[in-house]
Amino acid sequence: MFASHRKKVGAVLTAIGALVLTACAAPAPAPETTTAAPEVSGKLTVWTEDYYVAIFEPLAQEWAAEVGIEIEFVTKEFSEMTNQFIAAVPAGEGPDIFIAGMNTSLLVGNGVVAPVELGDKAGLFSPNALAAGQLDGVQYGIPFSIENVAVYRNTDLAPEPAATFDDAIAAGNALVDAGSADSPFAVGVGPDGNPYLLMGLQSSFGSTLFNGEELTIDDEAGQAFASALAGWGASGAINPDMGLDIALNQFKEGRTPYLITGPWDLNGIKESGVPYVIDPIPSAGGQVAAPFAGNFAAYQSAESQNPLAASLFMTDFMTRTKTAVGIFEGNKTLPALIPAQEEVSSDPDVAAFAAIGASAVSIPGISAMNQVWGPWGETQMAILRGQAADPVKAWIDMGVKIREAIAAAG
């Protein structure tokens, strides 16, 4: 689900932030408790991608030494690890803990994750982030990061924010014509499409994915987006051959004024020295451009070889402010833990992403989404490449294909 939108980190959120924290965290957070942890022993195995191995391992090793267990991190390929986890758990070959983009309905539907009892500690988390780890009121995933995309703007090339997407493209094209930029606007869509990054533009037409269980992606608002997408592809406003690395590198090298991406690229952009600010995605369709909101989470395997230690990892390690702040230092993504949010809220980039995330839309937490991503990205690319003679018909046909896939999946 997340593999198509970025190369390493995965995401997805419901933002809050220093100035916006109180809006998301309705009840006051429960105080962190200091009750004695149960005695545990043995070893825990954790699967995640290389990005989060580097962030989690030093934090978790310190915790493991404190509670008296061993912990081993196994690096998995981001685009393959969820399917590998689903296949490995029933065979008794999976890890004790799985850290990935939150995909609760899929994991619970396959019977590979165990419920978690947080008790009073549930009050430590952003309610929306915590809810994304639930199914039918039962908690499975423990969120640690809340993320959304935004526009990074090079303030040397574009000193003022664009009021609309058309304005951004006009400013970008003027820079390209003057030889000051290579691209008017950078967004990594190739080679398979990137619905996650483009959702802000699509939502600005009033387009949604579902109304409850009813598919709405191909309604008139979605069709209007499809028509606009064709124009952007034809004019070069959005380059279908631009992948994530090309888009990021162009921005870091000062060769494009605008880039759509998330906080996972913040450290690299800072290190590049390019002057930047973080802006909301400018509207293309007249309504607010609402990006996706999502979370990353830890899950306990339903077949953990050390369930007591795995449960302690979930309810102790994952609920500590020290853990959440440590993760933030690595990924620069708003923590899901409210006390950690309060510690990092002075960071202006965190505040900017949080403010933008206040209007973000959640990825529908239904299993039918697994049938949406593929056709959605494929259709976007066909339209951008000019391979769809009628972009509106292509979008309607996409809806038919998705409905058939949902029906076939049961």
pLDDT of residue 363: 84
pLDDT of residue 36: 54
With CA atoms as reference, report the closest residue to 340 among 124, 154, 193, 192. 124
The answer on 325 and 210 residing in a single domain is no
The answer on 215 and 279 residing in a single domain is yes
Is 105 among the domain residues? yes
Phi, psi (degrees; rounded to nearest 5) at 86: -60, -35
Strands 258-261, 214-215: pairing is: unpaired
The answer on 167 and 143 residing in a single domain is no
Two tokens, residue 187: 């967004």
The answer on 275 and 165 residing in a single domain is yes
Judge whether 83 and 107 are in contact, CB under 8 Å.
no
pLDDT of residue 366: 78
Is 123 among the domain residues? yes
Per-residue pLDDT of the chain (410 residues; tens, 9 = 90+): 343 344 433 333 222 222 232 233 334 454 554 455 568 899 999 999 999 999 999 999 999 999 999 999 999 998 899 999 999 999 999 999 999 998 898 899 899 999 999 999 999 998 888 988 998 889 999 999 988 999 999 999 999 999 999 999 999 999 999 999 999 999 999 899 999 999 999 999 999 999 989 999 999 999 999 999 999 999 999 999 999 999 999 999 999 999 999 998 998 999 999 999 999 999 999 999 999 988 899 999 999 999 999 999 999 999 999 999 999 999 888 999 999 999 998 889 988 998 898 889 888 877 788 899 999 999 999 999 999 999 999 999 999 999 999 999 87
Domain with 259 in it: 150-288+366-409
Report how far residue 317's alpha carbon sits from residue 300's, in angstroms, rounded to the nearest whole number: 13
The answer on 65 and 91 residing in a single domain is yes
Say which CATH number the domain at 203 has. 3.40.190.10
Report how far residue 350's alpha carbon sits from residue 75's, in angstroms, rounded to the nearest whole number: 28
The answer on 400 and 282 residing in a single domain is yes
The answer on 373 and 241 residing in a single domain is yes
Is 355 among the domain residues? yes
Report how far residue 170's alpha carbon sits from residue 257's, in angstroms, rounded to the nearest whole number: 11
Q: What's the length of the chain?
A: 410
The answer on 179 and 89 residing in a single domain is no
Is 8 among the domain residues? no
Residue type present at position 243: G
pLDDT of residue 6: 45
With CA atoms as reference, report the closest residue to 278 among 163, 167, 172, 355. 355
Is 231 among the domain residues? yes
The answer on 176 and 134 residing in a single domain is no
Give the count of beta carbons closer than 10 Å to the beta carbon of residue 57. 17
Report how far residue 303's alpha carbon sits from residue 85's, in angstroms, rounded to the nearest whole number: 11
Report how far residue 239's alpha carbon sits from residue 384's, in angstroms, rounded to the nearest whole number: 8
Number of domains in the chain: 2
Given 330, 347, 362, which residue is the final one in a domain?
Answer: 362
The answer on 387 and 284 residing in a single domain is yes
The answer on 346 and 326 residing in a single domain is yes
Is 12 among the domain residues? no
Is 11 among the domain residues? no
Judge whether 281 and 260 are in contact, CB under 8 Å.
yes
pTM summary value: 0.80
Two tokens, residue 264: 């996972």
The answer on 189 and 87 residing in a single domain is no
SS (H, E, C) the chain: CCCCCCCCCCCCCCCCCCCCHHHHCCCCCCCCCCCCCCCCCCEEEEEECHHHHHHHHHHHHHHHHHHCCEEEEEECCCCCHHHHHHHHCCCCCCCCEEEEECCHHHHHHCCCECCCCCHHHHHHECHHHHHHCEECCEECCEEEEEECCEEEEECCCCCCCCCEHHHHHHHHHHHHHCCCCCCCCECCCCCCCCHHHHHHHHHCCCCCCEECCEECCCCHHHHHHHHHHHHHHHHCCCCCCCCHHHHHHHHHCCCCCEEEECHHHHHHHHHHCCCEEEECCCECCCCCCCCEEEEEEEEEECCCCCHHHHHHHHHCHHHCHHHHHHHHHHHCCEECEHHHHHHHCCCHHHHHHHHHHCCCEECCCCHHHHHCHHHHHHHHHHHHCCCCCCHHHHHHHHHHHHHHHHHHHC
Is 9 among the domain residues? no
